[in-house]
Amino acid sequence: MLKWDAVLSQGISAGDALFAPAVLRNREAILAVLRHLLPASGLVLEVASGSGEHIIHFASALPSLSWQPGDADPKALRSIAAHMQTAGLANILAPLPLDVRAQPWSVPRADAVLAINMIHIAPWSATEGLMAGAGGILPDGGLLYRYGPFKVAGAHTAESNASFDVNLRARDPAWGVRDVEAISEAGLVQGLSLVERIPMPANNFSLVFRKGRHCSPWARHT
């Protein structure tokens, strides 16, 4: 597994920065939800940080929180580092190599875990790993936030999502838009309850999970 000091030894330049057009389209909508969900202070771990643009945007808007980016892809780690150099924010920690399927995670504790547009471009084992890892490091009441396209009761919520699902499975049969109920069941196994499902622009959802048996599943659908 790639180590952060190995990334640094290769040198980081602005040319390493990757850009995802979807980030510009969804970052403000996601941030608006996170403002109401995240604690006032603490550590937020983002898994599958990708280009790093989301975490830079969130860390800039919410400076009282510490932000830990992570990703399994060395190119993503380099991109995150390049964006961090440009942004110059003091509340973002050095990106960590992190495969959600590898247990236990290298981060021993976090107050919140974010996973944005991850599970549909990964095998189901990544969803199971995400739930296990988050369940292992979150405190009682801690937040797991997931964003992306999802099926509800086994059905797509829009024709565009159905077409997207077909495209994903053509690229890799292990990929695909996941069902909210199946995700919820995987969370319950790890002590994570789905407490809120929030409709988002472009036929996406925010799924809000909380750690602990006191959390009532499906408490509110907005």
Q: Is 20 exposed, middle or buried (0-12, 13-18, 19+ CB in 10 A)?
A: middle
Give residue 14's pLDDT band: very low, low, confident or very high (50, 70, 90): low
Q: What is the pLDDT of residues 64-80, one digit of tens each?
A: 999 999 999 999 999 99
Query: What pLDDT does 20 receive?
Result: 81
Q: How many domains does the structure of the chain reveal? A: 1
Stretch 38-57: mean pLDDT: 96
Host domain of residue 114: 4-221
Q: What is the CATH number of the domain that holds 23?
A: 3.40.50.150
Query: What pLDDT does 15 receive?
Result: 79
* Average pLDDT of every residue of the chain: 90
Interior/surface letters 99-124, b for 16+ CB within 10 angstroms, e for the rest: bbbeeebebeebbbbbbbbbbbbbee
Q: What is the pLDDT of residues 124-157, one digit of tens each?
A: 999 999 999 999 999 999 999 999 999 999 999 9
